[in-house]
Amino acid sequence: MQATAAAIIESVSGRAVPLRGNDIDTDRIIPARFLRCVTFDGLGEHAFEDDRRGLAAKGEVHAFDKPEYQGAKILFANKNFGCGSSREHAPQSLMRWGIEGVVAESFAEIFFGNCVSLGIPCATVGEAAIGRLLAAAEADPAASWVLDVKAREIRGPITEPVTFLDGPRSQFLSGQWNPMSELLSHLTEVEQVASGLPYVSGKW
């Protein structure tokens, strides 16, 4: 976690890795057996481990195993990416593999929130646009892309407008994507709200 090192994130630049498929869940991103740990160290190498092995057994290659996508920083995905378990180990493993930003048709909510806390901008685009982006990243793995939080677009061999939720976008642009410091600055108000709740105060 980088709670103490929050910084302004205006864009993410690098190559893009395309990952087709709807409803890719966090068990697939990082299988549960790798959650037996007390730190997030080393999770990067296990990202998509079972999907990668499963494809390899069939003589196919997962995008995360293809040499041309090693070092990619932006992930392109389809609908409901990151659904299922709340495990932050999922975005942690993607981040430690090298992913710094994600463009997808849609995201599952907890995964999205975890990405914000880690400083990973997640942008959405429509079905046709993600189709074009996936195809472009497949056609030219070496292409450079910029996921521009400020300009709300993804630029590379093609350019597409993207949508960021306003709240998280302003968090990235202000460097406040990890909210702990701001939450800590309101502890007096926290105590006021808490003491006004009957189940906390005991004054039913």
Q: What 3-state class would DSSP assign to 155?
A: strand
Q: What 3-state class would DSSP assign to 60?
A: coil
Instruction: State the Cα angle at 134 between 88 and 138, rounded to 5°.
Output: 110
Give the full edge-to-edge strand order of the sheet including 16-19. 16-19, 74-77, 101-104, 122-124
Tell me which stretch binds other proteins (CB under 8 A): 7-15, 94-102, 114-122, 140-148.
114-122
180 Cβ partners below 8 Å, 6+ apart? Answer: 3
Q: Which is nearer to other proteins, 32 or 143 (CB)?
A: 32
Amino acid identity, position 203:
K
User: Does 132 sit near other proteins (CB under 8 A)?
Assistant: no
User: Does 202 sit near other proteins (CB under 8 A)?
Assistant: yes
Q: Which is nearer to other proteins, 37 or 61 (CB)?
A: 37
Q: What 3-state class would DSSP assign to 58?
A: coil
User: Does 170 sit near other proteins (CB under 8 A)?
Assistant: yes
Residue 58 to residues 25, 27, 51, 52, 142, Cα–Cα distance (Å): 21, 21, 11, 10, 26
User: Does 59 sit near other proteins (CB under 8 A)?
Assistant: no
Q: How far is the CB of 99 from other proteins (least distance, A)?
A: 16
Q: How far is the CB of 65 from other proteins (least distance, A)?
A: 15
Widest Cα–Cα separation across the chain? 66
Q: How far is the CB of 141 from other proteins (least distance, A)?
A: 22
User: Does 93 sit near other proteins (CB under 8 A)?
Assistant: no
β partners of residue 103: 76, 123
User: Does 167 sit near other proteins (CB under 8 A)?
Assistant: yes
- Find, among 105, 115, 102, the residue nearest to 171 by Cα: 115
Applying CB under 8 A, the site for other proteins has a residue count of 70
Q: Which is nearer to other proteins, 7 or 37 (CB)?
A: 37
Q: Which is nearer to other proteins, 88 or 160 (CB)?
A: 88
Task: Catalog residues that contact other proteins under the rule CB under 8 A.
Answer: 1, 3-4, 20-23, 25, 27-28, 31-33, 35-40, 50-51, 53-54, 79-80, 83-89, 91, 106-110, 113-114, 117-118, 127, 165-168, 170-171, 174, 176, 178-180, 182-184, 186-187, 189-190, 193-194, 196-200, 202, 204
